[in-house]
Amino acid sequence: MQYIEFLGIPGSGKTTVMQKTLVALQAEKKPVFSTPDVRKIAMRHTLQRQSGFWWQLAKITALVGESRVLSLLWEKTRSAYMIRFMHAYPRLSRQVIECTEHVHPPDWIPRDVVCGENLLKWLLGGVASCYQAAYQILASGDIFLMEEGFCQYAYYLLAFYQGSFDEQRLESYLDLIPKLDLLVALLPPPEECEKRMHSRSKGVASQILTPLSVEQRLNILRHRTRVNQKITAYMEKHHVPVVRLENTDYQTTHVILARHLKSFCSAQSSV
């Protein structure tokens, strides 16, 4: 499996770039899968393997409303993938759990949104379980795209460790995560991202930041950008191919992204 992650602050265009990457790789005739794709495949495999009345009923129901049924099945069975991931990455799992036990977000963040329990659920129950499912299901030449991956969650996990961002833990965390084959790092000016974010109010981070003043939002986005730059520099230092997208112009971004993806596909074909 070839693994690609996307990294960017709210308003940086991460979702759009991920979708463009998906389309570009499909145009190159590459077998490429997103997070929803992997979840659906994993649950189809589960349905095919299981027997018994309730599983047969689930199979019949899936014929009518497959998406909903598979989503419910994923919520019930993803723990098996999470446990396998924790077994494969014990040191990373321990660090994640330890960090979530010492989360102290500032007062402007709702406690019912960003708390240790939710971070644990998002990272191990979400990111890790989906990565493990992809690792088990996809073939060696398949490409897995993760929009909200381990790099993206580095900030969420470490920004509020004992009330402040833990710089020293960042590198040790990155040392432990699964190896990336490509990082797409969106690093446009925070000022441009703030304008976009404020105009759309999409996602949990945007909803949390919207009630703040413009200056407060900018300070947070600038800090997140510095963290993302450190993550990007770490990956480059460790010879992970990186696509840096520092412009908010979609046409410029498209040209840069297309060029790098062609190089990525050529490199994978020669392996």
Please give the span between the terminal C-alpha atoms of the chain, in angstroms, as a whole number: 13
Q: What's the order of all strands across the beta sheet hosting 32-33?
A: 32-33, 143-146, 2-7, 182-186, 242-245
Residue-by-residue pLDDT tens, the chain, 271 positions: 999 999 999 989 999 999 999 999 999 899 999 999 998 888 777 766 655 554 555 555 555 455 666 666 777 788 999 999 999 999 999 999 999 998 888 888 887 788 888 899 999 999 999 999 999 999 999 999 999 999 999 998 888 777 778 788 899 999 999 999 999 999 999 999 998 886 765 677 777 888 889 999 999 999 999 999 999 999 999 999 999 999 767 788 888 888 988 888 888 766 5
| Beta-carbon count within 10 A of 169 CB | 16
Q: Output the pLDDT for position 43.
A: 79
Calculate the alpha carbon distances from 150 to 1, 192, 229, 246 in Å. 16, 25, 15, 21
User: What pTM was computed for the model?
Assistant: 0.89
* Domain residue extents for the chain: 2-270
CATH of 2-270, one of 3.90.1280.10, 3.30.930.10, 3.40.50.300, 3.30.565.10: 3.40.50.300
Three-point CA angle 188, 189, 192, nearest 5°: 100
Token pair in block for residue 206: 């945007």
| Beta-carbon count within 10 A of 101 CB | 10
